[in-house]
Structure 1
Amino acid sequence: SAIISGGTGPYNYTISVSGIGIIGYSNSMDYEFSPGDFNISVSVYDSLGNHASATVSIIVHNLPSVSVHAKYPNIDPNTTDVFNATISGGTGPYALAWYVNGTYEGNQTSISFSFTSPGIYPVQVKITDAESESATSIIDVNVVSYPVSSIIVSHYKIDANVSDTFRAQGTGGIGPYSYQFLINGHTFDNSTVSYAFPDPGNYAVELTVSDAFGHDATSYANITVYPDPVLKILYSGTPTASEPFHMQANVTGGISPYSVSWIFSDETLSGFNISHVFSASGPNTFEGKVTDSSGYTLTKNYTLSVNLYVSITANTTSGLGPLSVQFSSSVLGGSDYSYNWTFSPGHYSLEQNPIYSFPAGNYTVHFEVTSANGAKGYANITIFSLPPPVSISYSTNKNITQYFYFNATANWDAKSPYNMTWSMP
């Protein structure tokens, strides 16, 4: 608006704006400016041609705007959050109004608020400037549940001195997380821990997960630790070269089921019960291996003394004495043998295939052979050297014409009755 004094009316007006030009020809008008700095000039002529002018400078501000900033857009329950309003444009001073989830919470440039339960909550600020222009800004705050921890365990049942692996898992809360394991009195600040329990027993593994706001969650895993497997080899007697020998594995400790391997110089067998043929006599060493379900493997060496394989035969084992017998021997599993035949006390032979004459009687012939490596082999055979089938007794000191009495006695173990035939001259 232009206010005129002096001169002689009527008046002619020209209103111009710097950078824009003439905007009107009256003493009063409305004009909408864009933001910026402007010089407004009014030029006036009265009816006598006299002239006057005036200039005024104005500053046109942007419309007010506001934005909300949350210190923690994602936050745990019962944790203080801070919200700030950033204002631009408009003409101060400004009036503010804060609303959290639709409820008025204050009129400062910043407010603090703590959410009590998980959810997504709108936080709104409204400003009004000195020219009654207003602006609004809203953000959503994500309030998450408290953190929860859990342990991922490789083996809940495991042998002593075998490494087990524990992995930390955190959900809820706000990351990043920090982790702490407590295992058998030892503390580990890692998300993954490998640990071997030295002794059998029951153990509780503890995990504490802390989120970015310091809220903790604790969980436990119960681990059963078994004694390490023990392998025993069971068998009966002494193995003989070239003959099947049966053996059995007995496993205690560890965690079933088990797998058992037998590793010999010439073959590998599996199973708890096996049969193996040792080709050589003397000390034979083999390997027994057991693996339990936790992966623990025990390997142990075993040594058995293997006897020579011995076979003896006789060309006859029964006949009238004195009985001549040809013996033969066959030996496997060694070399450079020495032989010893015992026919009866004090009667022996060092030959491989001797001949011996047995007086009447029953005999157990013992054969022993020794190899250059010290291995031995044994065998027995029974010989029956039979007496005459009948013994005859008769009367003595008789004269001619007197009766002589004869008696026949069977010497063999045949069952009676017997048929006897006597022939006289």
Structure 2
Amino acid sequence: MYQWFLNGSPVTGANSDSWVFSPPAPGVYSVYLNVTDDVAEEEMSNVAYVTVNPQLDVSITPTTVTMQTSESQLFTSTVSGGTPPYSYQWYLNESTVSAATASNWTFTPTSPGYYQIYVAVTDNVGGSDTSNTASVTVQGKPEADFTWYPYSPTVDEEVTFDASASTPNGGTIISYAWDFGDNQTGTGEILTHSYHSTGTYTITLNVTDSEGIWDTQSKSITVATTPPPPPPLAVGGEMVFVKTDKTVV
């Protein structure tokens, strides 16, 4: 007859030559077997000691992130229970991340979008757990761009600057700030400006979106001398008009 013992007490129903132990809680347990033959002679086995560690548990931080494509974000795991050492595998949108097998992982997105991140951990005896899922919103950086007309202005000629070619890339552009390169500035998507001296000026446009993400674009404009007026036309004389760059001269 067989009788298994757990921590010195007989286990109800454990009366065969094998027994499956399912620990109810972490701790150290002693297990042994008593065997009784037909003439009532007993023999006790050696004592096996079983150490049951707390159940493996893993979590990651941060859990909610809003970032842009030019940034990087470190995710950190915290592991408790189980039997060290641990092995790690990070996941991005349900797919394994190549070479991301450490306790921490840095995410550097290359394109805007919504991402989900978690880590799976396995301990030294095959126990496993999956962390909570972090949600990441990646916003595209706005791109500043602009045009102006006329393209080759003259001194004191009104020039229209237009930043409508700027792209928000997922956000909303809320600010347009101009530096005209002649110690004059302005704001707005479309505005006008005049230069009072000849030369080449650097125009800089800075756009900012609703999340505070910004971009800058710079271009050069050349301002020429205002051409002299044509001489008076005598009665009966002729004057030739030529269309150039949408301007009749």
Equivalent positions of 1:202-217 (< 5 A) are: 203-211=115-123, 214-217=127-130
Change (3 A) 1:122 1:218: closer
| Higher RCO structure, 1 or 2 (CA under 8 Å, sep 6+) | 2
Is 1:163–1:194's contact at 8 Å kept on the other side of the alignment? no
Distance, in Å, in 1 between the alignment partners of 2:185 and 2:82 is 57
Distance, in Å, in 2 between the alignment partners of 1:205 and 1:272 is 38
Change (3 A) 1:145 1:98: closer
Give the number of aligned pairs: 205
State the match for 1:254 in structure 2.
Answer: 169
Deviation at residue 233 of structure 1 after TM alignment:
1.1
Q: Which runs of 5+ in 1 are unaligned?
A: 1-95, 107-111, 125-140, 311-337, 345-357, 367-377, 381-425
Change (3 A) 1:198 1:364: same
Distance, in Å, in 2 between the alignment partners of 1:340 and 1:264 is 28
Residue identity matched to 2:78 = G
Is 1:205–1:222's contact at 8 Å kept on the other side of the alignment? yes
Is 2:28–2:52's contact at 8 Å kept on the other side of the alignment? no
2:89 to 170, 177, 180: 180
State the match for 1:31 in structure 2.
Answer: none
1:339 to 218, 228, 235: 228
Residue identity matched to 2:228 = Y
Deviation at residue 341 of structure 1 after TM alignment:
1.2
1:98 aligns with 2:7: yes
Residue identity matched to 1:341 = P
Distance, in Å, in 1 between the alignment partners of 2:104 and 2:179 is 38
Change (3 A) 1:340 1:249: closer
Change (3 A) 1:98 1:194: closer
Larger strand share, 1 or 2: 1
Deviation at residue 252 of structure 1 after TM alignment:
1.5
State the match for 1:286 in structure 2.
Answer: 203
Q: CA RMSD in A?
A: 4.8
Change (3 A) 1:232 1:212: same
Is 2:77–2:104's contact at 8 Å kept on the other side of the alignment? no
Change (3 A) 1:147 1:286: same
Change (3 A) 1:249 1:146: same
Distance, in Å, in 1 between the alignment partners of 2:122 and 2:217 is 47
Equivalent positions of 1:214-253 (< 5 A) are: 214-221=127-134, 223=136, 225=138, 228-238=141-151, 239-242=153-156, 245-250=159-164, 251-253=166-168
**Structure 1 residue runs of 4 or more that deviate by more than 6 Å after TM superposition:** 120-124, 363-366
Q: Which runs of 5+ in 2 are unaligned?
A: 13-19, 31-50, 242-246
1:359 aligns with 2:235: yes
Equivalent positions of 1:292-371 (< 5 A) are: 292=209, 297-308=214-225, 339=228, 341-344=230-233, 358-359=234-235
Equivalent positions of 1:90-129 (< 5 A) are: 98=7, 104=10, 114-116=22-24
TM value normalised by structure 1: 0.36
Distance, in Å, in 1 between the alignment partners of 2:65 and 2:201 is 38
- Show CA shifts across 1:195-250 (max 9, x none): 33334565554422345654231554455556553322144445553466442323
Percent of aligned positions that are identical: 22
Residue identity matched to 1:194 = T
Structure label with greater radius of gyration: 1
2:78 to 170, 183, 193: 170
